Amino acid sequence: MPVDTQQIMDEAAKLGDLVAQHPAVARYKDAKRAVAEDTEASKLLADLDHQIEALQRQQQSGREVTDAQHQQLEALQNRIVSHLKIKALNMAQVDFVDLLRRITQTIQRPLADAPVQQQAGPRVSGMPRPQ
């Protein structure tokens, strides 16, 4: 029996409610909040964004990034990856994204297994119509 778009959207909302209750979502939200409330972590991430933007603008204007700038960026990245709250956020984000990936694969599985029904399409000059 065919379903309409509203039925699909209603079920998607229910799925969204279930996903929101998953422990991976809670861990991700908690880790994100912890980083946002940590002034050092927030400053490190903001500094990284600013440095990357500045280097991109520099490259777009045709100027090469210097070795010193690369080293400065690398040093900042090392500080970021060693920050405990940022590390926890990255791990929680990986778990959260993996959950979403598995859900998406599960949704797509029946679509991949479903037989394709071809409909007669428009006739292209010199090409027979699909049967």
Give residue-wise pLDDT tens across range 96-124: 999 999 999 999 999 887 666 555 555 55
Query: Is 0.75 surpassed by the pTM of this model?
Result: no
Biggest CA–CA distance in the chain, Å, is 68
Specify the CATH class of 5-111 in words: mainly alpha
Tell the residue number behind the tokens 């709250």, with chain if given.
85
Give 18's Cβ-side CA count (13 Å radius). Answer: 9
What pLDDT is recorded for position 61?
A: 95
* Mean pLDDT, rounded, of the chain: 90
Give residue-wise pLDDT tens across range 28-42: 999 999 999 999 999
What separation in angstroms does the CA of 2 have from each of 11, 54, 94?
15, 53, 36
